[in-house]
Amino acid sequence: MRRTWAGAVLGTMLFAAGCATNPVTGRTELALISESQEIAMGQQAAEEVEASIGVVDDAELNAYVQRVGETLARASERPHLPWRFRVVDDPTPNAFALPGGFIYVTRGMLSLMENEAELAGVLGHEIGHVTARHSVQMISRQQLAQIGLIAGMILVPEIARFGDLAGTGLQLLFLSYGRDAERQADDLGFKYSLQQNYDVREMPDIFQSLARSSELAGQSPLPSWLSTHPLPQERIERISAMLTEVTPADRRLETAAYMQRVDGLVYGQNPRQGFFQGSTFLHPELRFRLDFPQGFQLANLPSAVQAISERQDAVVQFTFAEGSAAQAASAFRQQQGVRTGQARSERINNIPAVIMPFEAQTEGGALAGYAAYIEDGQRTYQLLAYSAAQNIRAYENAFLATINSYQRVSDPAVLNRQPAKISAVRLPSAMTFNEFMRRYPSSIDAQELALINQITNLSAQIPAGTWLKRVQ
């Protein structure tokens, strides 16, 4: 089991506090971690991001984003960092920076953009958070809060990452910076893009689209851009004011190169990785379904499906297990800190399973729940359902109902479900957006299609040769 980023933070806090010179401002500031420790933290967090969220399986697209980001970063105040840029497989429009130069943009963010200049603006903004050491500053200021968080984590390795019932392990990967830090990142991103001759006039356009994009998040474990990047109108106005000082020139858009890279990119939720219908989770590739408790917040991650109660005091987690159901159950019982009740070998919808109650003692109190191991063909799954011990009676029936809902799926409508994908179109002639939709039908509605094409007037004439996106 990987240590969480929070755990890495705690380890670095054991080093003596000191001062460092900010690479951007030149000012001396308090820094509880060195640059080497910052990089180590970022590497650990990057491993968690890629394991828990997943990187888009498109080597050319990731190499393209790496080239654009690295070109900006190598001309920044911290060119020597191990800069890494990747596209994570999530439909929520967002981008985020981890300490030490590890930067991610979601495929949902790419779906909103029109050209490489916009991509450079977003990546430049995130690079600015790293070069100005914003995360280091926040971690230094929040040392006591971080230590308090770690103290509440479950001591049992198998369920440590879900010890905080609010799911803060994932949230730690998305720092929410203050307004001054966001302004500084805007200014730095603007500067880095301008240095590479990108058309910085595109920056307000992508920020305006992001302000309208919250409806694209869907059932995703990631927060939207607005949750992690406060976007008051004042910030867009500041960038617009900065544009008045930029000398008009033939600056880079690279629209064709960008559109050709996102052509074929999965749009929205990818049902081949599993999808929700209400509170029911269905997986076409693995051919099963599972009913989660009503009212729980649902998240489908590459390594697990997770549900958290509305009051954030109960968790259901479904993931893979090693060995047979009996072997996996035995390994769980042998963990230090876990006390289990009698294990029952049963058949759930004619599928062999082992179910047992358990209790686990944590620094923050006792947990109670059920561990179930379901052996479906060549795969064994683990289902953990637990809450604070004093609340187990309130959730017990819901936990057992979820465990007993597992069944195989044979419905062709589920098994054959395919993701929608972006298709890039270069207009052969001038037309309105309404005409474009009639000529090139899409699987999403007009409002959403206009949003990802940054169109606000559906009846305005669009010149021939313009690149637009459709979704099929």
C-alpha 466/C-alpha 117 separation (Å) is 16
Lateral strand order in the sheet of 467-471: 266-267, 420-426, 467-471
Residue 49, token pair as written in the block? 């991001």
| pLDDT in the model for residue 196 | 95
Q: Which top CATH class is 271-414?
A: alpha beta
Neighbours of 310 (CB within 10 A): 11
Give residue 17's pLDDT.
47
Give phi and psi for 427, each to the nearest 5: -60, 125
Instruction: Let me know: does 318 contact 382? Beta carbons within 8 Å.
Output: yes
Chain position carrying tokens 């790496």: 66
The predicted pLDDT at position 154 comes to 32
The residues near 80 (Cβ < 8 Å, ≥ 6 apart) are none
Count other Cβ atoms within 10 Å, centred on residue 14: 7
* Run of H or E residues at 326: helix 325-333
Give me the pLDDT at residue 380, please. 97
| Nearest alpha carbon to residue 35 among 46, 43, 27 | 43
Question: What are the residues facing 106 on neighbouring strands?
Answer: 88
From residue 152, alpha-carbon distances to 9, 111, 160, 162, 358 in Å are 15, 38, 10, 11, 19
Q: Which residues pair with 366 in a beta bridge?
A: 361
The answer to whether 221 and 301 are in contact (CB under 8 A) is yes
CA atoms within 13 A on the CB side of 205: 21
Q: How many CB atoms lie within 10 A of CB 356?
A: 17
DSSP designation for 374: E
Strand partners, 321: 380
Would you write out the chain's pLDDT as a tens digit for each of its 472 residues?
A: 333 444 444 444 434 445 677 777 777 765 667 888 889 988 988 988 888 888 999 999 999 999 999 999 999 999 999 999 999 998 988 898 998 999 999 999 999 999 999 999 999 999 999 998 887 777 665 543 443 333 333 333 333 333 333 333 344 455 567 778 888 888 999 999 999 999 988 888 887 787 777 655 454 555 555 555 555 567 777 888 888 877 767 788 999 999 999 999 999 989 999 999 999 999 999 999 999 999 999 988 878 899 999 998 999 999 999 999 999 999 999 988 899 999 999 999 999 999 999 999 877 789 999 999 999 999 999 999 999 999 999 999 999 999 999 999 999 999 999 999 999 999 999 999 999 999 999 999 999 999 999 999 999 999 999 999 999 9
The full set of domain ranges for the chain reads 5-262, 271-414, 427-471
Q: How many CA atoms lie within 13 A of 282 on its CB side?
A: 18
